[in-house]
């Protein structure tokens, strides 16, 4: 079992690192596959809980939204109004003459909700408003949050995006590792036992320490090597603090969904590790916050 887990981890890391370094459509294709797998897993969890998500509109939303983000506009929910200046318009957009673009992300979201509600009405004997609600929730939880992985990598024209992506990724890894190592050794006080019995207050504190320390180390490395100098050093611990919190909330949110569904893992897609959402549960909380934070301060 341990050997299988290690082999799966090596394969997954190799594919993910390669796609992240290459960026562009290669990463976009991987993110798209993760979204499809994640949506299948979240709908499966809801079905285990006795619910009936309306799958076809849900998968349509996932597919079209992800393709919109990857091929047209990595700025999620960024509406470009035709022939009008957008307050979020970047200098690069203006220089490229792209002042009249229109993102279909938000209109698509509205249309999908209408489609889900329409199906619920005409098939009212099969679906309930709760089924419609969990379909929308599943689409938002998996599709929108995961799509920020691509958007984050595309920041700064893709040049600085790689380093920003690494900040989000490695602070999450540091938080998770510190929480596990400290919590398993000295953790005595339960954090939220009703949601996740194994997590401790000591591990939670260690997660904050690990993510803040990792972010500072990355900041010093990036700035003093000249690899990435567009983000001031004092912002790195702020990102680390946010990542330490979001990593834990994302993990606990996924645990709560699985506990409600009565399952241990979202799937067995990755031998020894569970499903895609079991691996991405904390990261997909971090990606959007880091994305908008960077957009505001850089």
CB neighbours of 47 closer than 8 A, spacing ≥ 6?
53
Q: Please state the length of the chain.
A: 298
On the CB side of 186, CA atoms within 13 Å amount to 8
pLDDT along the chain (298 residues), means of 10: 69 84 88 91 94 88 78 55 43 50 65 86 90 90 90 86 92 90 86 85 92 96 93 95 94 92 89 85 93 88
Backbone angles phi, psi at 126, to 5 degrees: -100, -40
Cα distances (angstroms) measured from residue 258 to each of 81, 117, 277, 298: 41, 26, 11, 37
pTM exceeds cut of 0.75? yes
Domain of residue 17 covers: 2-297
d(CA 70, CA 149): 10
CB neighbours of 140 closer than 8 A, spacing ≥ 6?
none
DSSP string, 41-58: HHHHHHHHTT----HHHH
d(CA 79, CA 279): 31
Cα distances (angstroms) measured from residue 171 to each of 184, 190, 209, 221: 20, 23, 10, 14
Q: Are 239 and 167 in contact, with CB atoms under 8 Å apart?
A: yes
- pLDDT, residue 166, reads 92
- pLDDT, residue 75, reads 58
Domains: count for the chain: 1
DSSP-derived 3-state class of residue 284: helix
């Amino acid at each position: 079992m341990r050997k299988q887990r290690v082999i799966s981890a090596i394969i997954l890391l190799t594919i993910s690192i390669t796609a992240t370094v290459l960026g562009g459509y290669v990463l976009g294709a991987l993110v798209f596959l993760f979204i499809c797998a994640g949506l299948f897993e979240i709908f499966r969890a809801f079905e285990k809980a006795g619910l009936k998500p309306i799958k076809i509109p849900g998968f349509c939303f996932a597919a079209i939204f992800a393709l919109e983000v990857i091929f047209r506009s990595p700025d999620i929910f960024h509406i470009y109004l035709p022939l009008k200046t957008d307050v979020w318009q970047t200098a690069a957009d203006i220089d490229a003459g792209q002042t009249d673009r229109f993102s279909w992300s938000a209109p698509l979201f509205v249309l999908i909700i209408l489609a889900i509600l329409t199906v619920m009405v005409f098939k009212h004997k099969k679906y309930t408003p709760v089924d419609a609600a969990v379909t929308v929730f599943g689409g938002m939880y998996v599709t929108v949050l995961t799509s920020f992985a691509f958007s984050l990598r595309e920041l700064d024209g893709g040049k600085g995006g790689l380093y920003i992506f690494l900040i989000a990724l490695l602070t999450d890894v540091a938080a998770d590792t510190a929480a596990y190592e400290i919590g398993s050794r000295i953790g005595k006080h339960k954090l939220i036992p009703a949601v996740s019995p194994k997590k401790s207050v000591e591990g939670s504190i260690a997660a904050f320490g690990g993510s803040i320390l990792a972010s500072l180390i990355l900041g010093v490395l990036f700035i003093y090597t000249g690899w990435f100098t567009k983000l001031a050093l004092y912002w790195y611990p702020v990102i680390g603090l946010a990542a330490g919190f979001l990593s834990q909330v994302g993990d606990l949110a996924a645990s709560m969904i699985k506990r409600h569904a009565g399952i241990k893992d979202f799937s067995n897609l990755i031998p020894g590790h569970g499903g895609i959402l079991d691996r991405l549960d904390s990261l997909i909380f971090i990606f959007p916050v880091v994305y908008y934070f960077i957009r505001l301060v850089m």
